[in-house]
């Protein structure tokens, strides 16, 4: 089985889990709503602030840096919290022992691990700020360095949340364990993660082509605005869909890498073959 076929097979397996447990999709929805509320809470004061309060001699003031850092931290925590809740319930769905995933159970599980999740949010927010600073100061070269380092960081820490949620590890132990598991099965898993991203991109692109194409063909300003609105809604739905599948896939990969167990629906698609140990 080729890499593209394996990526598609992993996508299908994740989709089957989601189809059987549709409530898992609520976690990205709730996370998105919470993220919008956080953005509104931080951006509203910035909107009414004067230019002098935000920048000084073309550079951000100390207060602006504090506000930006707090925004990164809270935004990261919100995203991580709901992803952690999703992982806790995806694991329940993959075990297939009769347990029923639930929104309340997932939020409760994430709440019990909030200190570690907040610590991980602090780490990810710091890394994001550092990469952004490198990109801004080094220009085009900084963009390349930031992209490469960011990609390596995402892959090596891909299993931190499952480790934190399912093993009860702290931030340091979670990162160390994630790197260890990544080294153990680093090959085709990258293709699996990237495959979900590619599928999400293609679905989004297809939505824009269909809706905007129909809007321009039918003509009329109102029709075009409706088409743009439908395309944006479609994009949000695809984001929820792919985020949920990513959480399911992430959990399944953790179970295989940590326990050597091929979980649930993934047993039927040659999961062990797709993730050959290196």
Q: Which two tokens stand for residue 182?
A: 């990544």
278 residues of the chain, pLDDT tens digit each: 555 666 677 788 888 899 989 999 999 999 999 999 998 888 877 666 655 555 555 565 666 677 777 888 899 999 999 999 999 999 999 887 767 899 999 999 999 999 999 999 999 988 988 888 888 787 778 788 888 888 888 888 889 999 999 999 999 999 999 988 887 765 555 656 677 778 888 888 888 888 888 877 777 778 888 888 888 899 999 999 999 999 998 898 888 888 877 777 777 666 555 555 44
Q: Which helix (H) or strand (E) holds 102?
A: none
Phi and psi based region of residue 263 (left: phi greater than 0; alpha: psi -120 to 50; beta: remaining): beta
Contact 275, 263 (CB under 8 A): no
SS3 109: helix
User: From CA 194, how far away is CA 187, in angstroms rounded?
Assistant: 12
pTM (two decimals): 0.85
CA atoms within 13 A on the CB side of 227: 18
User: From CA 208, how far away is CA 98, in angstroms rounded?
Assistant: 40
């Amino acid at each position: 089985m080729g890499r593209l076929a394996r990526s598609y097979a992993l996508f299908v397996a994740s989709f089957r889990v989601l189809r059987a447990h549709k409530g898992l999709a609520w976690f990205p929805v709730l996370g998105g709503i919470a993220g919008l509320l956080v953005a509104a809470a931080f951006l509203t004061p910035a909107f009414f602030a004067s230019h002098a309060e935000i920048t000084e001699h073309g550079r951000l003031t100390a207060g602006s840096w504090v506000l930006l850092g707090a925004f990164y931290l809270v935004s990261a925590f919100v995203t991580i919290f709901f992803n952690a809740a999703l992982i806790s319930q995806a694991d329940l769905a993959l075990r297939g022992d009769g347990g029923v995933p639930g929104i309340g159970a997932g939020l409760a599980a994430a709440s019990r691990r909030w200190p570690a999740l907040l610590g991980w949010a602090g780490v990810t927010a710091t890394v994001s700020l550092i990469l952004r600073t490198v990109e801004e100061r080094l220009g085009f070269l900084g963009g390349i360095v930031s992209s490469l380092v960011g990609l390596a960081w995402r892959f090596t820490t891909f299993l931190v949340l499952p480790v934190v949620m399912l093993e009860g590890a702290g931030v340091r132990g979670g990162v160390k364990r994630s790197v260890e598991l990544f080294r153990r099965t680093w090959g085709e898993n990258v293709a699996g993660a990237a495959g979900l991203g590619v599928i999400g991109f293609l679905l989004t692109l297809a939505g824009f082509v269909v809706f905007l194409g129909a809007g321009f063909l039918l003509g009329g300003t109102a029709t075009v605005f409706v088409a743009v609105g439908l395309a944006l809604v479609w994009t949000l739905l695809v984001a929820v869909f792919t985020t949920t599948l990513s959480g399911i896939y992430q959990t399944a990969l953790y179970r295989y890498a940590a326990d050597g167990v091929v979980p649930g629906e993934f047993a039927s698609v040659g999961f062990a073959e797709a993730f050959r140990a290196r």
